[in-house]
């Protein structure tokens, strides 16, 4: 990986987006918004796989390498891109960083001080932040002359009113940073922009976005700005996820510590790695596997997942004073007709009704004709948000999150 530097002839933009079990990446040219190549290292671990395709969708060769960890997957990604595009130098690298802290509402050029500051936030997002920062350090090693830009998932939510940003705890804890941060901000940023472009009247209204994947959350937008989010102090809160429980009575934690003798590390492993769809089903954290399984536990996990989404849609509607549109996005939201149907079932009281055929066809608009609330499926593009911010900051500009 050493010896690759920013290219003098053509400075491309490389984006890296490390999730809890995946690594998305894209290579953009120095101008334009269509990537030259995109890829995904999926199901990182013993069943890891790497896919890379060019701008026409044709598969590109994948360099040999291990995908048992995020760090190894990143090495394999960089090797594959370098082999596929040896004549394109990387002019800048943009990184998804899950946690930007309580005040940071803009994305930022990376320096040593910023890296140190972001490392202090790792306890708030231990499943993501260390992977994000490891990606930055590896990219600095691989491309020492290229500017590195950190794009924060929390920045988009800094427009929350105070009542949606705090907990009922002593105020000094809020001052120490114990507050509701919200996450998945890059995804919500993209969808807000896409709605403003394609449906400007709708974008000015009350929109609930369901970002559903291995990590899952809802965000309530009012005129394109984040008002409320289901995720809070950490990416554990809100909806159940692949391996995380979502909303949980804090008394459960006291019981596990006091009565079951669980250590902080035991509880961390339980909350981040053993709960959610995986814990409920006893089978898998992957919705594709659960939908294909005949096991009753798999069906129960899906029922709980969709029931919690319905409840939280109601809470978002309350925060917004109503709802004009529901948008599904993320890996599950974009690809699971079953989940969309179950979420929307019985939601007529909010004007949500879907067209079964349109939903099964994965149409962009899946709401029934005449329904009071629009229901859309909008594929997210966090990589493009990162590329735009990276290009702006590497060129000397400033990019706000909202």
Query: What is the rounded CA–CA span in Å between residue 244 and residue 213?
Result: 12
Query: Who's near 230: CB < 8 A, 6+ residues apart?
Result: 217, 218, 219, 237, 238, 239, 246, 312, 315, 316
Q: What CATH number is given for 11-152 in this structure? A: 3.30.420.40
| Predicted pLDDT of residue 207 | 98
Strands 206-212 and 216-222: antiparallel
Kindly give the interhelix angle for 296-320 and 337-344, rounded to the nearest 10 degrees. Answer: 60
Kindly give the interhelix angle for 112-119 and 129-142, rounded to the nearest 10 degrees. Answer: 160
| Predicted pLDDT of residue 9 | 40
CB 216 within 8 A of CB 330: yes
Secondary element (H or E) of residue 265: helix 264-273
The DSSP letter of residue 278 is H
What's the order of all strands across the beta sheet hosting 325-329? 225-229, 216-222, 206-212, 325-329, 374-377
CB 211 within 8 A of CB 188: yes
| Predicted pLDDT of residue 125 | 83
| Predicted pLDDT of residue 227 | 97
CB 298 within 8 A of CB 277: no
| CATH 3.30.420.40 domain range(s) in the chain | 11-152, 200-377
- Per-10-residue mean pLDDT of the chain, 402 residues long, equals 41 82 85 89 84 92 84 82 81 94 94 96 85 86 89 96 97 94 96 97 98 97 98 95 97 97 96 96 98 98 98 98 98 98 97 98 98 98 94 66 40
Query: Who's near 72: CB < 8 A, 6+ residues apart?
Result: 65, 66
Question: Of the residues 54, 116, 153, 165, which is catalytic?
Answer: 153
Query: What is the rounded CA–CA span in Å between residue 298 and residue 339?
Result: 13
From the CB of residue 341, how many other CB atoms can be counted at a distance below 10 Å? 15
Residue 153 is among the residues annotated as catalytic for this protein: yes
| Predicted pLDDT of residue 20 | 65
Query: Who's near 9: CB < 8 A, 6+ residues apart?
Result: 87, 89
In terms of CATH architecture, what is 200-377?
Answer: 2-Layer Sandwich (3.30)
């Amino acid at each position: 990986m050493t010896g690759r530097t920013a290219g003098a002839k053509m400075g491309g933009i490389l984006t890296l987006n490390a999730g809890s079990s995946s690594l998305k990446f894209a290579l953009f040219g120095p101008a334009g918004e269509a990537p030259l190549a995109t890829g995904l290292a999926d199901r990182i671990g013993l069943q890891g796989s790497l896919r890379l395709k060019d701008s026409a969708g044709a598969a590109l060769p994948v360099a040999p390498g291990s995908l048992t960890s995020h760090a190894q997957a990143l090495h394999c990604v960089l090797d594959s891109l370098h082999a596929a595009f040896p004549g394109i130098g990387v002019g800048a690298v943009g990184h998804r960083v899950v946690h930007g802290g309580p005040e940071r509402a803009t994305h930022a050029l990376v320096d040593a001080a910023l890296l140190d500051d972001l490392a202090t936030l790792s306890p708030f997002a231990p499943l993501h932040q260390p992977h994000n920062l490891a990606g930055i350090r590896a990219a600095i090693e691989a491309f020492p002359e290229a500017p590195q830009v950190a794009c924060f998932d929390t920045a988009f939510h800094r427009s929350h009113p105070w009542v949606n940003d705090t907990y009922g705890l002593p105020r000094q804890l809020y001052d120490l940073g114990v507050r509701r941060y919200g996450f998945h901000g890059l995804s919500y940023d993209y969808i807000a922009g896409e709605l403003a472009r394609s449906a400007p009247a709708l974008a000015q209204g009350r929109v609930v976005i369901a970002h559903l994947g291995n990590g899952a959350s809802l965000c309530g937008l009012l005129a394109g700005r984040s008002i409320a989010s289901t995720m809070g102090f950490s990416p554990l809160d809100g909806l159940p996820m692949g391996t995380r429980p979502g909303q949980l009575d804090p008394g459960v934690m006291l019981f596990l510590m006091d009565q079951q003798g669980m250590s902080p590390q035991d509880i961390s492993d339980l909350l981040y790695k053993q709960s959610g769809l995986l814990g409920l089903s006893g089978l898998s954290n992957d919705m594709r596997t659960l939908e294909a399984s005949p096991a009753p536990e798999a069906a129960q996990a899906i029922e709980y997942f969709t029931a919690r989404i319905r409840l939280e849609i109601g809470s978002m509607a309350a925060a917004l004073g109503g709802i004009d549109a529901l948008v599904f996005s993320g890996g599950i939201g974009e690809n699971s007709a079953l989940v969309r149907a179950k979420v929307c079932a019985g939601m007529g009281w909010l004007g949500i009704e879907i067209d079964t055929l349109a939903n099964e066809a994965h149409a962009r608009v899946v709401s029934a004709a005449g329904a009071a609330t629009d229901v859309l499926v909008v594929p997210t593009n966090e990589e493009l948000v990162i590329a735009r911010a990276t290009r702006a900051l590497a060129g000397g500009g400033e990019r706000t999150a909202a």
